[in-house]
Amino acid sequence: MTPDNHSGRGNDTNRSGATPSESASLRVGFIGLGIMGRGMAASLVRSGFPVVVHNRNRAAEQALVDAGAMGAASPQALGTQAAVVLLCLSDTAAVEAVLFGPDGLAHGLKPGSYVVDTSTISAEATRDHARRLAERGITLIDAPVSGGEAAAAKGELSCMVGGTPEALAYCQPFLDAIASRVVHVGGNGAGQIAKSCNQIAVSSVMFGVVEAFALARANGVDPAAVREALLGGAARSAILEKNAVRLLEQDFKPGFKAGLMRKDLRLAQEAAQSAGAIDEMAVAQLILRRLDTVCESGDAEQDWSVVGKLK
């Protein structure tokens, strides 16, 4: 399937034929108001959609309710009120519980509804979730995101979508509210594989920057000056622009937690193993071992930049 690249906002009509004004009348649900989810839900509210939210810790809903959203007591209760529901949850088990638990979303959604899972979870589980929801007449697309907390707050994430083109077309207005770049990469599960590719790429760059700074320090050269020099050349990257500042300042207040990056790289390793490509993942396996050490030393809740923590 040829990827469909949808960038920017303001299309007059999406491929399902629904106009923006018609989409705006649909109530959209959002479950999972953590570091990323709260910014994404706020972007939907700012875009003018009627939004209903739920979070396991109900106190996290209040800021969104104050901004104009409604709260729901459970995923099932939220499902009875929304035609499209976005999820932003920590892992595969959390998504499974929210979708199919005793008060799960699937028990409240009507046939014809859509679930947009922006969580980073197992591609195999995503395909299973899509199948089980389809049996109830509910469509799922996997749409994991990249960009970090600041981009989530601004509605400027990058979104990798797995699902049918028709499902993406229906959900496009909601994705455009949270992302500045939306790319269709294939069927269900393909979005999760693309996110694993993203995590391998960015973690490899991060470890390169950590080693570059270590080399500079060992030779009496200021890493901050090295960063400025590198930003003007081929080494320029989002990691060098943003995360490298955390390394220089040794500021590891969590944005994206080390434990989550470890989880994501484990998912990438599992996907590679299933596809018979694990021998091609030598660098990712080295990085995962380093993250295991970092997390087991007590830094799992710190920002993943903590891999560059000075001893």
3-state helix, strand and coil shares in percent for the chain, rounded to the nearest 5 = 55, 15, 30
301-to-80, 252, 298 alpha-carbon distances in Å:
34, 9, 8
Report residue 186 as tokens: 């294939």
How many CA atoms lie less than 13 Å away from 268 in the CB half-sphere?
26
Q: CA angle at residue 283 from 280 to 285, to 5 degrees?
A: 85
Going by C-alpha positions, the residue among 213, 211, 207, 237 that lies closest to residue 225 is 213
Contact yes or no for 184/3 (Cβ under 8 A): yes
Report residue 240 as tokens: 């060098």
307-to-6, 207, 242 alpha-carbon distances in Å:
34, 8, 15
- From the number of C-beta atoms within 10 Å of its C-beta (0-12, 13-18, 19+), residue 297 rates as exposed
Residue 195 falls in the annotated catalytic set: yes
Q: What is the bridge-based pairing of β-strands 28-31 and 157-162?
A: unpaired
Q: Which residues contact 308 (CB under 8 A, 6 or more apart)?
A: 206, 209, 210, 213, 246, 247
Of the candidates 110, 154, 195, 242, the residue annotated as catalytic is 195
Residues recognised as catalytic: 195
